[in-house]
């Protein structure tokens, strides 16, 4: 056995108006490296708890930080004992009609979409993965078994992406529980444009998520 207690922090995902050179989601690349742990928090509290866990871990950990999230504030628990286990997802909103699975910036958009859906009478559960390797397969299975429908969000390209791995987990473990095919919302498979209006069209937005969920539920 070899220990490699290292933590790598780096920007990841679609930033604002920096084009293809600085707006890529490399999560699935890192997930494909055996022995490497990958975390992708969506809020300040999770950053603190997961980074503390990463520093204490004997395995190398990559922390993927979304540049846009640096501008969002939130409550952060105090104290050295606030540590979140790597490999555990978080249900950031309970629901019963459909599960929205996301990570990093897409988890923020998922929460906003769930609020809008609530106003339309749709109860969406939001599962923030937080950790991408290892994935919390138990949490994914539990939520989808509860709601019987799922949509998976990512800023990654669809091919061999994070959403594809999550969908495989659902297919392997929840096939008989599904009332509809699992939906996937990803970045379009093109280099991300610099122009704001084109950038917006390439990446799933809150209104896109709301529309997809309503379509799945026949609303």
| Statement to judge: residues 142 and 206 lie in one domain | yes
Q: Which of 71, 99, 119 is the last residue of a domain?
A: 71
**132 and 104 assigned to the same domain:** yes
Number of domains within the chain: 2
Q: Residue 37: in which H helix or E strand, if any? A: strand 37-39
Mark which of 43, 71, 99 sits at the end of a domain.
71
Widest CA span in the chain? 54
Task: Enumerate the β-bridge partners of residue 102.
Answer: 128
State pLDDT tens for residues 50-96: 999 999 999 999 999 999 999 999 999 998 889 999 999 999 999 99
For residue 78, is it within any domain?
no
pLDDT higher at 61 or 18: 61
Note the pLDDT tens digit of each residue in 92-139. Answer: 999 999 999 999 999 999 999 999 999 999 999 999 999 999 999 999
CA 149, CA 140: separation in Å to the nearest integer?
11
Are residues 97 and 65 part of one domain?
A: no
CATH number at residue 149: 3.40.50.920
Instruction: Give a yes or no: residue 159 inside a domain.
Output: yes
Task: Tell me, yes or no, whether 122 and 203 share the same domain.
Answer: yes
The answer to the question of residue 81 being in a domain is no
Q: Which domain holds residue 32?
A: 7-71
145 by DSSP, 3-state: which? Answer: helix
pTM as predicted: 0.96
* Same-domain status, 129 and 172: yes
Is residue 22 very low, low, confident or very high in pLDDT (cuts 50, 70, 90)? confident
Predicted local confidence at residue 123, as pLDDT: 99
CA 71 to chain centre: 18
* Cα–Cα dist 60/101, whole Å: 25
Q: For residue 82, tell me if it sits in a domain.
A: no
Contacts of 109 (CB under 8 A, 6+ apart): 102, 153, 204, 205, 206, 209
Domain co-membership, 107 together with 184: yes
pLDDT value at position 15? 84
**71, 103, 127: which is the final residue of a domain?**
71
Q: What is the pLDDT of residues 152-184, one digit of tens each?
A: 999 999 999 999 999 999 999 999 999 999 999
Same domain, 107 and 55: no
For residues 36 and 135, membership in a common domain is answered with no
Kindly state whether residue 122 falls inside one of the protein's structural domains.
yes
């Amino acid at each position: 056995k070899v220990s490699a207690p290292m933590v790598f922090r780096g920007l990841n995902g679609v930033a604002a108006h920096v084009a293809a050179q600085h707006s890529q989601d490399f999560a699935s690349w890192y997930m494909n490296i055996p022995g490497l742990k990958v975390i992708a928090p969506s809020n300040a509290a999770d950053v603190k708890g997961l980074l503390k866990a990463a520093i204490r871990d004997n395995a190398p950990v990559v922390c993927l930080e979304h540049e846009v999230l640096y501008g969002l504030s939130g409550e952060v628990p105090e104290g050295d004992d606030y540590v979140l286990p790597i490999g555990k997802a978080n249900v950031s909103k309970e629901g019963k009609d459909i599960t929205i699975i996301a990570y990093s910036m897409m988890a923020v958009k998922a929460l906003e979409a769930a609020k809008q859906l609530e106003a339309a009478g749709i109860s969406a559960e939001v599962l923030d993965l937080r950790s991408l390797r290892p994935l919390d397969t138990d949490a994914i299975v539990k939520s989808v078994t509860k709601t019987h429908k799922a949509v998976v969000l990512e800023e990654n390209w669809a091919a061999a992406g994070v959403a594809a791995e999550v969908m495989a987990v659902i297919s392997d473990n929840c096939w008989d529980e599904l009332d509809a095919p699992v939906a996937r919302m990803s970045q379009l498979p093109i280099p991300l444009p610099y122009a704001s209006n084109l950038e917006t069209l390439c990446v799933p937005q809150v209104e896109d998520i709301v529309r997809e969920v309503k379509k799945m539920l026949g609303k």
